[in-house]
Amino acid sequence: MPTGFPNTPEGALAQLAAIDQVALQSGSLAGARAVISAWAMPGGPTTTSWSGVRAVGRLLDAAGLSGAGSTQFAVVLTPLMGLIKGSVGSDFVIPCVDFELDVTLQRTARGAVADCQRMVWQTDRWLIGPGAEPFTPPSVWPGTDAASSVGYRDLRHE
């Protein structure tokens, strides 16, 4: 898992993007559950409630696969846009990430997905905080007028 993001709203957004990428790209329920177990604070999403685990489950169901996935099943989640819904001080941020999702099993399907979480700075890293998951804006194709109208801005990688 990529770590070391700064205690800034942008750092919270980057950590959320990394959490989502590792969980979904694991291509298995066990992988997604391991991620949320390590990256959620007590009172936050669990291995059964987290939207990331449910998303992996839906992808596997749609592909006709068990929760273990398959070596021929590949998920690529690319963060392309983001927004900061809000923050309280420097240790609590609600970032949202808009991703392009590519799923391959014999052929590739592509879509747009988004995620927002309560991110809390804990000692030296961002974690998904306690409470219900925040409302996620619509999943819109990154880079479109629709994405900009929701409030997403391009993410730049240096």
For residue 3, tell me if it sits in a domain. Answer: no
- Which helix (H) or strand (E) segment holds residue 128: the answer is strand 125-128
Query: Tens digit of pLDDT for each residue in 93-148?
Result: 999 999 999 999 888 899 999 999 999 999 999 999 999 999 887 789 998 999 99
Query: 111 forms bridges with which residues in the sheet?
Result: 101
For the chain, what is the mean pLDDT? 93
For residue 144, tell me if it sits in a domain. Answer: yes
**Structural domain for 46, as ranges:** 9-154
Q: What CATH number has the domain bearing residue 22? A: 3.10.450
Question: Percentage of the chain surpassing pLDDT 70?
Answer: 99
For residue 94, tell me if it sits in a domain. Answer: yes
Q: Are 134 and 114 in contact (CB under 8 A)?
A: no
pLDDT at 92 over 70: yes
For residue 2, tell me if it sits in a domain. Answer: no
pLDDT at 38 over 70: yes
For residue 103, tell me if it sits in a domain. Answer: yes
Summary count for the chain: helices (H), strands (E): 4, 6
For residue 1, tell me if it sits in a domain. Answer: no
CA–centroid distance for 96 within its chain:
8
Question: What pLDDT score does 157 carry?
Answer: 57
Average pLDDT, integer, range 45-74 = 91
For residue 127, tell me if it sits in a domain. Answer: yes
For residue 4, tell me if it sits in a domain. Answer: no
pLDDT at 9 over 70: yes
Question: What pLDDT score does 24 carry?
Answer: 96
Q: Which residue has the higher pLDDT, 76 or 137?
A: 76
Q: Are 139 and 111 in contact (CB under 8 A)?
A: yes
Which distant-in-sequence residues (6+ apart) come within 8 Å of 94 by Cβ?
84, 85, 86, 87, 116, 117, 118, 119, 134
Structural domains in the chain (count): 1
Question: What pLDDT score does 37 carry?
Answer: 98
**Among 138, 142, 110, 117, CA closest to 23:** 117
89: helix, coil or strand? coil
Using the 8-state DSSP alphabet, how is residue 40 labeled? B
